Amino acid sequence: MSANKESWGSRVGLILAMAGNAVGLGNFLRFPVQAVQNGGGAFIIPYLICFLVMGIPLLWIEWSMGRFGGKHGHHSTPFIVDTMGKNRLWKYVGVFGIWTNIAVAAYYCYIESWTLSYVFHSVIGTFSGLDQEGVANFFGAYVSLGTSTLGVPYEPIVFYVLCLLLNTWILSQGLASGVERVAKIGMPMLILFGLFLAFRGVTLTAGENGAINDSSVGLNFLWTPNFDRLWSPTVWLAAAGQIFFTLSVGMGTVHCYASYVRGNDDIALNAMSAGWMNEFVEVVLGAAILIPISIGYLGVDRVSEMVQSGGLGLAFQTLPYLFYQWGDLLGALSGVMWFGLLFFAGITSSLAMGTPWIGFLQDEFNWGRKSAAWSFGLFVFLLGMPTVLFFKYGVFDEYDYWAGTVSLVVFALFETILFSWVFGIRKGWREITSGSDIKVPGFYKFIIKFITPLLLLWVFLGSLFTPKG
C-alpha cells in the first residue's frame, strides 16, 4: 500500500484535467482525417453510436474502477485490477496497460515537440514570405533531421528532448500543482484559440484573400451523409478506434486520474462533463479548422488526395502557408494560435500518459514522485528515439497502429469483462452510481454487461481480419 495521499485541488480542476487528458492531438489532427478518409458524413453516424455504446460505458467503467482503486490506496491499473479480479493474472493485464502508455507517449510526444517548435517558428516569422513549397520543404527537412533554419544541429531532437523535459518537470511537481495547474491554464487557452480559428474556418468566402471556395464546401464535404459506406466494417472500426483514442480509454490514464477523486465524490456526472467537453472540441472545433480552411484554398480533390496519406501534412505543411493569405499579422497570429492550441492539447494528454507509470512505481516500489517522473521521461526518450530518427520510414505509423489502436481495444475488452463479469455488474453498477450527482439511465446496466463487451469483441476480431491501413 502506498503512502501516496495526493488528490485533486478542486472539482473544476479535476474536470479540466480529465478533459485535457481526452482533448488532444487526436481531436484536431486524427478526427478530421478519419472522417474524410471514411466517407465524410458516413463516418459521423457510426462515430456517435460508438460514443454512446462504447465510449460512455467505458468512461463510467474506468472512472469507477479508478475511484474504487483509490479507496484501497491504489493509483495504477495493475493494483486496481488486482483488487477487483479474483485471479492474480489480472495484475499482468494491468501492467500491459502501463506499457501502452509509454509506447503511445513515445510517438505522441514527438508530434507534440513539433508543435512546440512550430510555435517558436511562427513567433520568429520563419514561415512569413515563404511560398507553399517553401513551407512544405521546411517540414520535409525537419522530419529528415536536415539542416535547421536556426542553425541548430538536429533541431527535432533538441525540441523532442525539451518537450520531454517539460513533461517530466510538470509531472514531478505533483498532481494538483503540476498536472492540474497546467490543465487550468491550457484548456481555456485551447478553447479560446480554437474558437478563433474555427470562426475563421466557417466564415471563409470564395475570392477573399485567394480562397477558391466558401467554407460551406469543406463543411458540406464533412457533414453531408454518405449512406453508401455506412455498412462497411472498416468505417465502423475506424469510428470505434477514434472513439477510444479521443476519449483516452483503454490505457489506464482515466483509472489513474480517477483514483485521486476523494472518497465517494461523484464520478458519473464528472465523467460526462469531461467526455462531452471532448466531443464538443472534436466535432465542433476539430471539424471546423483543418478541413474547411484547406478545402477553402485547395479544393476538395486536392485535400482528399493529401489526406489519404494522413493529416499531419495538412496541419504542418499547408496551414502555416494558408494562414499568411490573411495578411502578415493575422498569418503570424493564426500560426501561433494553431500550434499553441495543438501544444496545449498535446501536453495535457501526454501528462496523463505519465501518471499511471508514476502511480505504479509509488504504489509498488515506494518511489518518490520526482524519481518516478524522471524515469518516465527517460523511458519515453529511449522508446521514442526510433520514431524521431526513422520517421520517414513509417516507424511512426507502426507505433500508432500497435500501441495507439490495437492495444486500446484489447485492453478495453479485458477491463469490460473484468468489470461486468468478474467483479460483477451488480457491484460495478453500485460503484458507478454511488455518490452520483445525476441519475444514470438504468438501461446502461444492460449495455455495459452485454453490448459493450460484444461490440468490443467484434471490433477486436474485425481489426485482426481487416487489412491494416
Chain residues in the site for ligand PHE (CB under 6 A) = 21-22, 24-27, 104, 245-246, 248, 251, 253, 349, 352-353
Cα distances (Å, whole numbers) of residue 453 to 239, 331, 414, 467: 16, 48, 9, 23
289 by Cβ neighbours in 10 Å (0-12 / 13-18 / 19+) ranks as buried
Least gap, CB of 350 to ligand PHE (angstroms):
7
Asked whether the beta carbons of 86 and 417 are under 8 A apart, the reply is no
Least gap, CB of 251 to ligand PHE (angstroms):
5
Residue type at 351 in one-letter notation = L
Least gap, CB of 273 to ligand PHE (angstroms):
16
Least gap, CB of 242 to ligand PHE (angstroms):
9
Instruction: Look at the alpha carbons of 328, 334, 337, 342 in this order and tell me if their dihedral is positive or negative.
Output: negative
Q: In whole angstroms, what is the distance from residue 104 CA to residue 366 CA? A: 25
Least gap, CB of 110 to ligand PHE (angstroms):
13
Looking at the Cβ atoms of 14 and 298, the one nearer to ligand PHE is 14
Which residues are CB-contacts of 352 (< 8 A; sequence separation ≥ 6)?
Answer: 17, 20, 21, 179, 248, 253, 256, 257
Task: Determine the distance from the C-alpha atom of residue 453 to the mean position of all C-alpha atoms in its chain, rounded to a whole number.
Answer: 23
Asked whether the beta carbons of 90 and 255 are under 8 A apart, the reply is no
Looking at the Cβ atoms of 55 and 335, the one nearer to ligand PHE is 55
Q: In whole angstroms, what is the distance from residue 309 CA to residue 299 CA? A: 17
Nearest residue to ligand PHE on Cβ basis: 24
Least gap, CB of 168 to ligand PHE (angstroms):
17
Looking at the Cβ atoms of 113 and 215, the one nearer to ligand PHE is 113
Q: In whole angstroms, what is the distance from residue 270 CA to residue 248 CA? A: 15
Looking at the Cβ atoms of 344 and 429, the one nearer to ligand PHE is 344
Looking at the Cβ atoms of 25 and 459, the one nearer to ligand PHE is 25
Asked whether the beta carbons of 98 and 252 are under 8 A apart, the reply is yes
Asked whether the beta carbons of 415 and 62 are under 8 A apart, the reply is yes
Least gap, CB of 124 to ligand PHE (angstroms):
27
Looking at the Cβ atoms of 65 and 353, the one nearer to ligand PHE is 353
Looking at the Cβ atoms of 21 and 436, the one nearer to ligand PHE is 21
Least gap, CB of 278 to ligand PHE (angstroms):
7
End-to-end CA distance of the chain: 43
Asked whether the beta carbons of 286 and 301 are under 8 A apart, the reply is no
Asked whether the beta carbons of 187 and 18 are under 8 A apart, the reply is no
Looking at the Cβ atoms of 18 and 306, the one nearer to ligand PHE is 18
Asked whether the beta carbons of 110 and 160 are under 8 A apart, the reply is yes
Which position has the grid cell 491504489? 74
3-class state of residue 391 by DSSP: helix
Looking at the Cβ atoms of 43 and 138, the one nearer to ligand PHE is 43
Least gap, CB of 210 to ligand PHE (angstroms):
32
Number of H helices, E strands in the chain: 25, 0
Instruction: Look at the alpha carbons of 74, 430, 440, 404 in this order and tell me if their dihedral is positive or negative.
Output: positive
Q: In whole angstroms, what is the distance from residue 222 CA to residue 38 CA? A: 10
Q: In whole angstroms, what is the distance from residue 394 CA to residue 67 CA? A: 39
Looking at the Cβ atoms of 211 and 345, the one nearer to ligand PHE is 345
Looking at the Cβ atoms of 70 and 97, the one nearer to ligand PHE is 97
Least gap, CB of 31 to ligand PHE (angstroms):
8
Least gap, CB of 283 to ligand PHE (angstroms):
13
Least gap, CB of 345 to ligand PHE (angstroms):
7
Looking at the Cβ atoms of 2 and 27, the one nearer to ligand PHE is 27
Joined together, the cell numbers standing for residue 303 give 485535400
Q: Where are the alpha helices (DSSP H) in 85-127?
A: 89-124
CB count in 10 Å sphere of residue 195: 13
